Amino acid sequence: MGQARQAVQPGAGETGQGRRTLAGMPEDRRESAEDLLKLLRAVTDTHRSADVYDPVVAGDTALRAALKRLDVPVPELDPDPVLPL
């Protein structure tokens, strides 16, 4: 956020709106992240209820195994994912 602070420097006579905007950015980001997680959870729940989730996970597992056998670098799964598999 250092660049953002430097990009908005209220001058003489300004009301400080830039500072107020910057001060609210972390809260706005947190709210946006929470909204995204709610959406992802809803999509995941929908996929599970439509029996789409398990085949997708199985396909991903098979693809990862095939890539590893071909010596293609595959990143490790996150041990603490946002949406557990």
CA–CA dist 58, 85 (Å, integer): 10
For 2-38, write each residue's pLDDT tens digit.
Answer: 455 455 555 544 566 667 677 777 878 888 888 898 9
Q: DSSP string of 3-44?
A: HHHHH----TT--SHHHHHHHHHHHHHHHHHHHHHHHHHHHH
pLDDT at 65: 93
CB 83 within 8 A of CB 42: no
Confidence label for 45 from pLDDT (cuts 50, 70 and 90): confident
Residue 47: name the closest of 36, 35, 56, 59 by CA.
56
pLDDT at 59 over 90: no
